[in-house]
Amino acid sequence: MERWLCPSGGAWLLVAARALLQLLRADLRLDRPLLAALVLLATLDWLCQRLLPPLAALAVVAAAGWIALSCLARQPRLPVATRAVLITGCDSGFGKEAAKKLDAMGFTVLATVLDLDSPGALELRACCSPHLKLLQMDLTKPADISHALEFTKAHTTSTGLWGLVNNAGINDVVADAELSPVAMFRSCMEVNFFGTLQLTKGLLPLLRHSSGRIVTVGSPAGDMPYPCLAAYGTSKAAILLLMDVFDCELLPWGVKVSVIQPGCFKTESVQNVGHWERRKHLLLANLPQELLQAYGEDYVEHSHRQFLHSLSLALPDLNPVVDAIIDALLAAQPRRRYYPGRGLGLMYFIHHYLPEGLRRRFLQTFFISPCLPRALWPGQPSRTPTQDAVQDPDPNLGPSPMEAQ
């Protein structure tokens, strides 16, 4: 009883009353984020009681609890009405599932695919309403993007364009930056950055007119130095910064910009082990001899096995990402960043607050553990860099066709 009569006990009563009210209104869910917030609040209460005067402790705990409940409260959503949205990369994965769910909600969905006869395109035709329109588009081809812009304008004359979901992207090489062809860096940038940039800029007049939404599927690899994802990660870092720029510049127009940073989910491309095997063999076949001798085939094989192991732990349910996309499109005040997936909160905490050495070890342990290159094995003779060392791997090791995320 004495516990609840102390000042901080009064703060807990205030927090409990608001939480109960929000639960009754369905503005709050009894889930892990709420439980985690209560644990952190209890820790803060314990510290405040030992470090602050009673009234100061009351103010801090009450304010922290109020802010936490405000952040956890569900944002009111806008009506779907006749809103239209363009989604890229709908052949598979997040794009296909988002297109299906948005169509079921009543959106007019314009879904781009690489191939109008792909299994994903055929599935969308079979299970979605006539309001969903399929469009072939390759983000590496300016003519395709120009056609998509005209197609979008023609199909949104009565409704306007409410949202753009930039989902399409590629990643076709898993290797150290030195082993990854420069051509692969360029290919990732062409799809993940330049193609997305061109499409987004072309649709901005429509989005400004509707004060609509831009939602882009990024990756934690664009925030953190994931081992063996240099080409993919740098392209995602570029698009993340671009979206932050758009967020600032489009604020006066009422356009809201969100980025989805998903963890590892079992999309079709993730589950395609044969694809990753072929890319590994192509990488090994085209590595300059000096690089192959310096790193060794065992090094590449080790990275490949570690990568496949991490993919085997991917989450099968894509709904958290799809729900984040929907919230970014319809929430009255959408978040600038969404982090659907397991363990991302811990990863970002480590990345932002722990020393660099611990951050690096965590990523290596979580994703691809370190392996010593062959030239650094004990007893190996010292090597003098040759001309081959500065040559890029065969430019013919280009990417396979663009895959949806």
Catalytic residues: 232
d(CA 92, CA 168): 10
Q: What is the DSSP string of 51-109?
A: HS-HHHHHHHHHHHHHHHHHHHSPPPB---TT-EEEES--SSHHHHHHHHHHHHHT-EE
d(CA 4, CA 10): 6
Within 10 Å of residue 245's Cβ, how many Cβ atoms?
11
State both tokens at 311.
């993919």
Q: Which residue do the tokens 């310096």 mark?
A: 294
Q: Which residue do the tokens 């927090």 mark?
A: 15
Residue partners of 370: CB distance under 8 A and separation at least 6 = 227, 364
State both tokens at 56.
């100061």
Report, in this order, helix, strand and coil percent for the chain, each rounded to 5: 60, 10, 35
CB 163 within 8 A of CB 212: yes
Residue partners of 107: CB distance under 8 A and separation at least 6 = 80, 83, 84, 85, 131
d(CA 361, CA 110): 43
| Strand-pair category, 337-338 with 163-166 | unpaired
Residue partners of 133: CB distance under 8 A and separation at least 6 = 108, 109, 110, 111, 151, 155
